Amino acid sequence: MRSPIYLCCLLLSLTALPILGQEVWPAGVGVEIGLMGEPSHLPPGFEPSGAVWHNGRQRLLVVSDDGYLAEMRTDGGDLVVWEIDEDLEAVAVADHNSDLVYLGVEHPDGVIEFDLATGAPTGETWDLRDWLDGPHNMGLEALTVLGTVFLAGLQDTGEIFSFRLSPGGEVIHLDTHAPPLPDIKISGLHYAPDIHTLFAIYDGDDLLLELAPDGSLLRSYELAGHDQEGIAMLPASADETVVFITQDTGEIWRYAGYPVTFNHTGAPAAMSPSAGILTCQPNPFNPVTTFHFTLVEPGYASLSIFDVEGRLVREHLKQHLPAGSHAITWWGGDNADRELPNGVYLARLQVAQKVSTARLVLLK
């Protein structure tokens, strides 16, 4: 029987095949509830990007990269629009009993706190450029809240960054989560606490992924529509819910009948980075690369590297590490320090009972 490591490497290397059993869009036919420039719809120039459902206000919130924030009913009615002079890509709600919401800004990449009661920013801002400063139009693209942790998606790499944002602009970077599939660029995030599931969309691939709170892949679907920039959901009712998809062509669509499954694999705290999510740069590499991970508490860590057949080629690290960020360099050799051949390798980081993997390519 092939080992789990072998199967994981095989799936990651077969990028030309259909994406991990990707299924057709599972919900019903969409209903357009917002159209840019049409009477009683969105104002001219409103190109929808991110979206979130505010359960306390019972309203859908949508931002535009032209600098607008809109609030509406599920049918698009009772439209209220605020103008904000920023490139807005995402919107998130941390407390559904509060009128405070959080706007994801691209260039400069960061977060703005906005008060829906006053219709103005509160003055609280958080600068995320140390982590999310991608190339032009490829920076912060997605934002959601998981418990007390903000998750922000970087479009350029598809990575998801975990932060704690405190008053006074204090930012604590908790971890960086590698994309669950290679070469995909994230465009939207939504965490559904009632079913413990993170939803991530990728417009370039028309792809919707359902992820467990620890980042593991649960399901993948073809994503309805095109040029999809944001996703929001109503709280689940029985075994289905309503999904909203925003498109930067100036449209907002509502889809009923999206099937939901309660995820039993982890509570919200599971995405907190005690696992030490693993990334490596450069990748591909020749012959040196550096592994990066962050521990929120001290612990015993092991870092091992496997080839595509699932064979252990190097035990690179086995030691107790303090909390904080770590960078570990690998020179592309096996346990005997012999150079390894070109190919796909899988690095496996284990801290306590949690495991994180990273796919890397040695290319000479």
Q: Which CATH architecture has domain 272-362?
A: Sandwich (2.60)
Distances (CA, A) of 226 to 202, 246, 251: 10, 9, 10
Give residue 31's pLDDT: 95
Give residue 183's pLDDT: 81
Show contacts of 220-224: CB within 8 Å, 24+ apart.
Answer: 220/19, 220/20, 220/21, 220/22, 220/23, 221/22, 221/23, 221/24, 221/25, 221/26, 222/22, 222/23, 222/24, 222/25, 223/25, 224/25, 224/27, 224/30, 224/253, 224/255
Q: Which CATH architecture has domain 18-269?
A: 6 Propeller (2.120)
Predicted confidence pLDDT, tens digits, the chain (364 residues)? 333 333 333 333 323 334 445 689 999 999 999 999 887 789 888 999 999 999 999 999 999 999 999 999 999 999 999 999 899 999 999 999 999 999 999 989 999 999 999 999 999 999 999 988 777 778 999 999 988 889 999 999 999 998 889 999 999 888 888 887 778 899 999 999 888 899 999 998 899 999 887 777 888 999 999 999 999 999 887 789 999 999 989 999 999 999 988 776 544 443 444 445 678 888 889 999 999 888 877 888 889 998 877 789 999 999 988 887 888 999 999 999 899 999 888 888 888 767 777 778 898 8
For residue 108, whether the previous peptide bond is cis, meaning omega lies within 30 degrees of 0, is yes
**What tokens appear for 144 in the block?**
């959601």
Give the start-to-end residue ranges of the domains of the chain: 18-269, 272-362
Task: Give the DSSP letter of residue 78.
Answer: S
Give residue 281's pLDDT: 85
